[in-house]
């Protein structure tokens, strides 16, 4: 990054890239994903159609786009084309993106809290719903976790001890190690940076392995599935979307690890690392909320 001493310098170097073909590649990829997924889901009972293959083609294409697009950005950054102002744009952009992710989870937390506070007690006759209760499902017992739905689907509730508790400890620890990696980067201690970042990735992978194990156990031994009424719905949607975000965050961290190995990032210029680290802290915070509202309470 070139820096001149004039005060207007930060305004003069704002980099406006020339034409790029990556956005249209990404647009076509999203189109394939939407059409493929739509076709796949619409034929989910019959196993017909080529939706699955179109979906896979779209995913491959979007991976190609991300690699190419971010590759361009990394090259431009390494060539020193980005000013402080550009860096601020990236930082602000990433912050607001994470905020939008928070709101996505808010929708599902909202559904969970609505079910727990309103819909399940109301089905049990709470408030002014006694008649509805008596007419519709008089056998129904309002409770949370809802292990027996009004129409009689039964399941088991997932306790918070064991795997979920281990996962909480793992993810909290990984947030700490991610922070240490960041501190090491700012102190230009590359050895410690690699060690802490590597450890963070291992913890992230460990979390994912345990979560897969938890899912297998829930499906095979407990009969807790996505279709097990509102308890299973909120359980799998929240932990599932969280797991997807952990997967994405782990991939980001792995990319950062290889960039660190290549000698990228300096103590005062490491937006990408910071973004991955912010993202990681975000999935950690979501997990803590999850742990309390889905598992413990």
Residues that bind another protein (CB under 8 A): 8, 11-12, 14, 16-24, 26-28, 30-31, 33-35, 37-39, 41-42, 44, 69, 85, 88-89, 92-93, 96-97, 99-104, 106-108, 110-111, 114-115, 118-120, 122-123, 127, 136, 146, 149-151, 153, 226-227, 229-233, 237
Any bridge partners for residue 269, and if so which?
A: 266
Minimum distance of another protein from residue 162's CB (angstroms): 25
> How near is the Cβ of 196 to another protein at its closest, in Å?
30
Q: Across-strand partners of 266?
A: 269
Q: How far is the CB of 228 from another protein (least distance, A)?
A: 8
Smallest distance, another protein to C-beta of residue 109, A: 10
Which residue's CB is nearer to another protein, number 87 or number 214? 87
User: In the bound complex, what is the minimum distance in angstroms from residue 255's beta carbon to another protein?
Assistant: 19
Please say which residue, 68 or 198, places its beta carbon nearer to another protein. Answer: 68
224 contacts 156 by C-beta, under 8 angstroms: yes
For residues 125 and 133, the answer to whether their CB atoms sit within 8 Å is yes
SS3 (DSSP) at 160: coil
CB of 17 to another protein, least distance (A): 5
Residue closer to another protein, measured from CB, 4 or 21: 21
* Count of CB atoms situated within 10 Å of the CB of 200: 28
CB nearer another protein, residue 206 or residue 240? 240
Q: Which is nearer to another protein, 180 or 219 (CB)?
A: 219
Closest separation in Å from C-beta 214 to another protein: 19
**Long-range Cβ contacts of 156-165 (<8 Å, 24+ apart):** 156/222, 156/223, 156/224, 157/224, 157/231, 158/214, 158/218, 158/222, 158/224, 158/235, 158/295, 159/295, 160/291, 160/295, 160/296, 163/210, 163/211, 163/213, 163/214, 163/217, 164/214, 164/291, 164/295
Rounded alpha-carbon distances, angstroms, from residue 263 to 2, 188, 227: 19, 11, 48
Q: Measuring CA to CA, which residue among 250, 207, 236 is closest to residue 294? A: 236
Q: Does the N-terminal peptide bond of residue 145 adopt cis geometry, omega within 30 degrees of 0?
A: yes
Nearer to another protein, 204 or 229 (CB): 229
Query: What whole-number distance in Å separates Cα of residue 231 and Cα of residue 158?
Result: 10
Nearer to another protein, 25 or 199 (CB): 25
């Amino acid at each position: 990054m070139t820096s001149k001493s004039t005060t207007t310098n930060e305004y003069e170097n704002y980099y406006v890239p020339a034409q790029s073909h990556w956005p249209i590649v990404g647009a076509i990829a999203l189109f394939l994903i939407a059409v493929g997924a739509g076709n796949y889901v619409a034929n989910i009972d019959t196993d017909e159609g080529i939706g699955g293959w179109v979906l896979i083609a779209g995913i491959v294409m979007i991976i190609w786009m991300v690699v190419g697009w971010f590759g361009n950005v990394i090259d431009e950054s390494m060539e020193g084309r980005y000013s402080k102002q550009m860096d601020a744009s990236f930082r602000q952009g990433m912050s607001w993106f994470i905020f939008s992710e928070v709101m996505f989870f808010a929708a599902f937390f909202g559904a969970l809290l609505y079910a727990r506070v309103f819909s399940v007690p109301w089905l049990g006759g709470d408030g002014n719903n006694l008649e509805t209760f008596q007419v519709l499902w008089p056998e129904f017992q309002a409770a949370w976790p809802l292990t027996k739905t009004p129409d009689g689907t039964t399941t088991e509730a997932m306790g918070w001890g064991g795997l979920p508790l281990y996962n909480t400890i793992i993810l909290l620890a990984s947030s700490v190690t991610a922070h240490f990696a960041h501190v090491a980067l700012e102190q230009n201690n590359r050895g410690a940076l690699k060690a802490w970042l590597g450890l963070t990735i291992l913890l992230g992978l460990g979390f994912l392995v345990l979560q897969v194990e938890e899912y297998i156990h829930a499906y095979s031994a407990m009969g807790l599935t996505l279709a097990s009424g509102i308890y299973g719905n909120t359980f799998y949607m929240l932990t599932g979307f969280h797991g997807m975000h952990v997967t994405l965050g782990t991939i980001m961290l792995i990319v950062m690890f290889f960039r660190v190995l290549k000698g990228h990032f300096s103590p005062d210029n490491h937006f990408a690392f910071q973004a991955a680290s912010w993202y990681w802290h975000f999935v950690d915070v979501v997990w803590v909320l999850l742990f309390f509202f889905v598992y413990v309470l």
